[in-house]
Amino acid sequence: MKHLNFSLTAVVVALLSAGVSVFCYSQLSNRQQTIVVEQKSPIQFTSERSAGPADFTYAAEVSVNAVVHIMSKFEPKQANTGMEQDPFFEFFFGQRAQPQKRPAQIGSGSGVILSADGYIVTNNHVVEGSDNISVILNDKRSFEAKLIGTDPTTDLALLKIEASDLPTLPIGNSDNLKIGEWVLAVGNPFNLTSTVTAGIVSAKARSINILNSDMRIESFIQTDAAVNPGNSGGALVNTNGELVGINTAIASQTGSYSGYSFAIPVSIMGKVVADLKQFGTVQRALLGISISDINAEFAKEKNLDVLEGAYVAAVSPNSAAHDAGIQEGDVIIKANNHKVKSVSELQEQIGRLRPGDKVDVTVLRNGKEKEFDVILKNKMGSTSMIKGGAIELLGGKFTPLSDKQKRMYGINDGLCVEKVNKGGKLSKAGVPNGYILVKANSKFVKDVETLEAIINEAKESNGQLNGSLFLSGYNPDGKIVYYAIDIND
């Protein structure tokens, strides 16, 4: 559950077992930020670091110019009392006093320039829900940014500004990071621009349960470099000046840095950014299994001989894993030619791939190793790519349901149509602001990515659907309402 901390303007996204809070700063002023580096598709990893005493001066010098300051503007939402246009109220009581408009709120974060022509990576929580995004370069030039796409499952977002000859960072290889290796965190904490701090890599493939998504991918680089509100979206850089991660969260009891920070490795970032740039949405590849980490107690309960790997708790019918022959009770110990010690490591390896890719998976079954060639699928059960921009086709702004909305309508999944654009397909069909979308074409809508896939499937169909989208859900008054939308271009 997220709690708003107004003194720090931070969003508390998880509580660790020791009473330590994990903070991702977003939406209000002084969001924690992460910085991104220029990436090419496919990413070309640079060479290994040379041994020798740590020298931070070169890495700091090349990094500060490639890290930007991001300002996100949030217009206040006016509550609808249902009396704003009531002539009877005005006749008997006079004209209502107009509510005073609240000032816009400003969130602050960081970003990393990925390409000389203006692509910038940051955290999703830095720009999520914003009405306007500004990017300030280290040379103080300011640009209005266009949001290319977001991925809440990894907390990444891709922006674009109209500029040229921008400074960038080479992309390093986060797989080669060693525990104890020196790294720098570069960002704009507390609106202090171009700030550099140093620390060491404390752990890798760390999952801290801060992302609010069923398909979240958490395999963070943990460091003790000082990261504070405003660092979110900033760069984690090795001493060679190579981007190895995007700073995302801190573990803290106060909301400020007190020991550990967490960054998204570039092994995940590179694939997400490439998908957003090429398709407008992330191509999520799935094994189609439920998995669990293994500890001593769990191993005893399941009569397992290993303490490492990802335990397969369930296999979905017609999934990639099912088709390949993976079974409930298997322990995945290797994937994509990498040893798997935990669920987060398996998620990281699969998260680098796209639907249709083949991955080698090794499991332990009854004490023996078995290998499988798995053809990965998307969430719709096919190997095709999902085209972005389908949501824009409808002409509306979709947001995840709050816990209050889920309780109110008695549902677990769905989307809220927060705003219907005038003249769009939703508007023409009569869909109101605040409509709770539960199903589209008889399929449950869990998130925006699912809705994108359903729309694309309908657009490409020449059969019964014939380019139509049938929505079912709740109007703001609680009535179940159905809408039919022609999505043909």
Write a three-state SS string for 421-482.
CCCCHHHHHCCCCCEEEEEECCEECCCHHHHHHHHHHHHCCCCCCCCEEEEEEECCCCCEEE
323 labelled catalytic: no
Q: By CB neighbour count within 10 A (0-12 exposed, 13-18 middle, 19+ buried), where does 414 fall? A: buried
Neighbours of 483 (CB within 10 A): 19
Q: Which of 219, 232, 252, 344 is catalytic?
A: 232
> What six digits make up the tokens of 206?
């760390």
Q: Which of 151, 155, 330, 447 is catalytic?
A: 155
Closest by CA to 118, choosing from 156, 150, 154, 147, is: 147
Residues 6+ apart with CB under 8 A from 97: none
Q: Which of 29, 69, 125, 319 is catalytic?
A: 125
219 labelled catalytic: no
Helix 343-351, helix 266-279: angle, nearest 10: 40
Q: By CB neighbour count within 10 A (0-12 exposed, 13-18 middle, 19+ buried), where does 341 fall? A: middle
155 labelled catalytic: yes
Distance between CA atoms of residues 227 and 248, nearest Å: 9
Peptide bond into 42 cis (omega under 30): yes
Evaluate whether 372 touches 327 at the Cβ level (below 8 Å).
no
Evaluate whether 383 touches 283 at the Cβ level (below 8 Å).
no
Neighbours of 94 (CB within 10 A): 8
Catalytic residues: 125, 155, 232
